[in-house]
Amino acid sequence: MRKKTYLFALVLLCCLFVVMTGCGANGNNSEGHSGKGDRVVIYTAAEDERIAYIQEELDKKFPDTEIVIQSLGTGQLLSKLQAEGKSGDCDIFYDLEVVNAEIILNASPDLFVDLKDYDFSIYDASVTGYTSNHHKYAVNGKTAGAFLVNTKMLKDKGLSVPKTYEDMLKPEYKGLISMPSPKSSGTGYSYYNGMITVLGDEAGMRYFEELNLNIKEYTTSGSAPAKAAVRGDVAIAYGLLWQCVNYANDNDGLEVIVPDKGLAFDLFTMGMISGHETKGSVKEVFTYLFNDLNKPQCAKFNPDKIYKDMPAAEIKNYPTGYSEISMKGLFDFQYKQELLDKWSY
């Protein structure tokens, strides 16, 4: 009887050991967790190459924390944050378009952590137009837009390289241009907003009516047109300046066009979800992003000026001295909605 009791106890101990081992000594379950004792979730609309860099740097800085970066489109990021609120998985948002951040705050003023204790004096005055109202997010990047031209494709067709915004309207470029849709892409919206700002409402809308005759495709992604120009699917693409320059550096037969009327741009933001800043390493990770990691990220990928002491661009042949369009309604989500209501392409 004692032997049976002893064997039963031994079997029970073995079962308990298996269960504890499956769950992990740190309390994580087996549903895809890494076994690390801490977990921070970042929602972002950043491009793949930027995500890879940030992931690598965060993993080095926080080896005992599981950093999960979830990639989302610009519109997806907005809708997911709106739908989930404070109860979702997201701890930190990164690369949220500034007007989308304002849309969220208009409906849920307390969804984002107040960052008033962080040092905003590091920023250039051109990107702090909202701080007189609140400090619920910080700018993590400015993305200017430009044109990437497949010069080989144009040469084969006997066409010259366009140099200005007006050149894009020439009938010989019919079916050769791609741009992101303003309704789904911050890059596309900045182009749309920029031309309305420069030309005025009526002339700006006429510009896009004429441009539409030459458009082969409106894409949902801000990066897709430039990739199409690299492949030779289109000859002219509107895209992010930093990506256009990188593609031109890496591929023969590509040229970046920076129109002299100035470049349209958009701002993107980072912050924390209220209530999540006290969870594990969330605040520590965000503070590292704010104070240390974002500056080198800008230098490597989107070096348009947001800091007073902006690091030098690490991208070869990155243009300097270009002017920026004074974007109308940059922080005004109602103005954006008015423009989008007029967009019918």
Please, what are the averages of pLDDT over each run of 10 residues along the chain (345 residues)?
47 44 37 66 95 98 97 92 97 96 96 98 94 97 96 97 98 98 92 97 98 97 95 97 96 96 96 97 98 97 94 94 92 94 96
| Domain assignment present for 307 | no
| Domain assignment present for 188 | yes
Same-domain pairing of 83 and 197: no
Same-domain pairing of 111 and 91: yes
Same-domain pairing of 207 and 245: yes
pLDDT of residue 75: 86
Same-domain pairing of 282 and 224: no
Length of the chain in residues, anyone?
Answer: 345
| Domain assignment present for 216 | yes
Cα separation, 51 vs 64, whole angstroms: 19
Same-domain pairing of 246 and 332: yes
Cα separation, 127 vs 177, whole angstroms: 31
Q: Backbone phi, then psi, for 174, in 5-degree steps?
A: -60, 130
Same-domain pairing of 65 and 121: yes
Q: Give me the residue label for tokens 């661009």.
A: 313
Same-domain pairing of 254 and 275: no
Q: C-alpha distances in angstroms, 256 versus 118, 122, 219, 236, 241?
A: 37, 31, 20, 10, 8
Same-domain pairing of 101 and 150: no
Domain that holds residue 129: 38-141+268-300
Same-domain pairing of 201 and 332: yes
What mean pLDDT is reported for the chain?
Answer: 90
Nearest in space to 81 (alpha carbons), one of 42, 118, 125: 42
Rg for the chain (alpha carbons), in Å?
Answer: 24
User: Hey, is 205 helix, strand or coil?
Assistant: helix
Same-domain pairing of 97 and 242: no
pLDDT of residue 35: 57
| Domain assignment present for 31 | no
pLDDT of residue 95: 96
Contacts for 126 with CB less than 8 Å, ≥ 6 apart: 305, 306, 324
Cα separation, 209 vs 195, whole angstroms: 12
Cα separation, 45 vs 98, whole angstroms: 12
pLDDT of residue 37: 72
Same-domain pairing of 109 and 175: no
pLDDT of residue 204: 97
* pLDDT tens digit sequence for 210-244: 999 999 999 998 899 999 999 999 999 999 999 99
- 216, 221, 227, 229 alpha-carbon torsion, rounded to 10°: 20
Contacts for 208 with CB less than 8 Å, ≥ 6 apart: 192, 195, 343, 345
Q: Are 161 and 255 in contact (CB under 8 A)?
A: yes
> In this structure, what CATH number is given to the domain that contains residue 127?
3.40.190.10
pLDDT of residue 184: 87
Cα separation, 178 vs 249, whole angstroms: 20
CA angle 287, 293, 298 (to 5 degrees): 130
| Domain assignment present for 316 | no
Q: Are 168 and 194 in contact (CB under 8 A)?
A: no
- What is the count of structural domains for the chain? 3
Same-domain pairing of 114 and 233: no
pLDDT of residue 20: 43
